[in-house]
Chain A
Amino acid sequence: MSRFLISRILKWLAFAVLGATMLTGLALVALEVSRSLPPHRYHPLGIYYEAIGLPVHPFLPVEGDRQVSLEVWSADWPVRRSQELSYAESIRNIVYELQRAYPGVSMKYRLFPLEEDLPSRVLESIKTSELPDIYIGPFTPDLLAGQRSIALTAFWGRNARPTCDTIALAYVTMDRDVWAWPIWIEIPGLVGNKTLLGKLGADIAGILTAGWTWEEFIQLARKASAMSGAAAARGQENGGRGSDGIYGLVINEGDPTWFEYLLSARSPAMLVKGDGTPGLDRQGLLDVAGFLEELRKDHIVPPPEMRASHRMLELFWQGKAMTIGPAWPGLVRHARERSIKSPSGPVRPVLLPFPRHPASPYSVPVRVYAGYIYRQLADDWRERARLAADALARIAHDANTIWLMARLGVVPADLGERYYWQDEARLSYEENAFIAYSTRVPATPAATRCQRELYNKMLAGVITPALREFWDGRISREQLMEMIERGARDLLYPCDNASH
Chain B
Amino acid sequence: MRSCLRLIRRGPGVTPYRLHRLWPWRFTGPVICLISLTVLGPAAVLGPMAAPGAMAAPARPARGAPTQFKPCPFGCEMERPLFVTAPLMRGSDVADVQLRLRQLGFYRGEIDGIYGPSTKNAVAAFQRCVDVVADGMVTGPLWDLLAIGVATSSGTPLPRPPGKVWLEVNMDKLTLTVFSDEEPYKTYPVAIGKWDTPTQVGEFAVIDKGYNPGGPFGTRWIGLNVPWGAYGIHGTNRPWSIGYPASAGCIRMLNQDVEELFEWVEVGTRVVITGSEAEYQLVVPVERRLKPGTTGQDVRYVQYCLRQLGFDTGPLDGWFGERMKKAVIALQKYYNLPVTGEVGTNELYVLGLR
Contacts and interface: CB of A to CB of B under 8 A. Distances in A.
Given A114-B334, A252-B336, A327-B336, A310 B310 contact: no
Contacts of A116: 326
Interface string B57-71: 000000000000000
Contacts of B310: 76-80, 86-87
Contacts of A310: 338, 340, 344-346
Given A80-B310, A314-B346, A314-B354, A115 B327 contact: yes
A326 B310 CA distance: 23
A464 interface: no
B350 interface: yes
A314 to B, nearest CB: 5
A312 B346 contact: yes
A119 B344 CA distance: 27
Interface in A69-96: 76-80, 86-87
Contacts of A327: 336
Contacts of A313: 337, 345-346, 349-350, 354
A380 interface: no
Listed residue (A114, A309, A325) with the most chain B CB atoms within 10 angstroms of its CB: A114
A114 B313 CA distance: 11
B311 interface: yes
Interface string A244-258: 000000001111000
A114 B345 contact: no
Contacts of B330: 113-115
A331 B338 contact: no
Contacts of B345: 310-311, 313-314
A317 interface: yes
A328 interface: yes
B148 interface: no
Contacts of A253: 338
Contacts of A115: 311-312, 323, 326-327, 329-330
A113 B330 CA distance: 9
Given A115-B327, A310-B340, A330 B334 contact: yes
Contacts of A86: 310
Contacts of B311: 78, 113-115
A176 interface: no
Nearest to B323: A115
B309 A78 contact: yes
Contacts of A312: 337-338, 346
B336 A330 contact: yes
B86 to A, nearest CB: 52
A113 B329 CA distance: 12
A327 B326 CA distance: 22
A157 B309 CA distance: 42
B211 interface: no
B349 A317 contact: yes
| Binding site secondary structure of chain A | mixed
B335 interface: yes
B311 to A, nearest CB: 6
B327 A328 contact: no
B339 A331 contact: no
A30 B331 CA distance: 55
A252 B334 CA distance: 13
Given A310-B344, A314-B354, A334-B350, A113 B312 contact: yes
A56 B327 CA distance: 41
A114 B333 contact: yes
Interface in B240-296: none
A441 B331 CA distance: 31
Contacts of B329: 115
A93 B141 CA distance: 65
A326 B336 contact: yes
B94 to A, nearest CB: 42
A443 B336 CA distance: 21
Interface string A207-234: 0000000000000000000000000000
A330 B354 CA distance: 18
Listed residue (A79, A115, A252, A328) with the most chain B CB atoms within 10 angstroms of its CB: A115
A254 B350 contact: no
B279 to A, nearest CB: 14
B290 to A, nearest CB: 14
A78 B332 CA distance: 13
Contacts of A254: 338-339
Contacts of B327: 115
B336 A331 contact: yes
A325 to B, nearest CB: 8
Contacts of A87: 310
Nearest to A315: B345
A15 to B, nearest CB: 66
Contacts of B331: 114
A115 B306 CA distance: 12
Contacts of A314: 345-346, 349, 354
A252 B339 CA distance: 10
A307 B330 CA distance: 21
7 contacts: A78-B310, A113-B312, A115-B330, A310-B346, A312-B337, A313-B346, A334-B350
Interface of B: 309-312, 323, 326-327, 329-331, 333-340, 344-346, 349-350, 352, 354
Given A325-B336, A330-B334, 6 more contacts: A310-B344, A313-B349, A314-B345, A330-B336, A331-B335, A334-B349
Complex A-B, nearest 8 residue pairs according to Cβ-Cβ distance, in ascending order: A78-B310, A115-B326, A114-B330, A313-B349, A330-B335, A115-B330, A331-B336, A330-B334
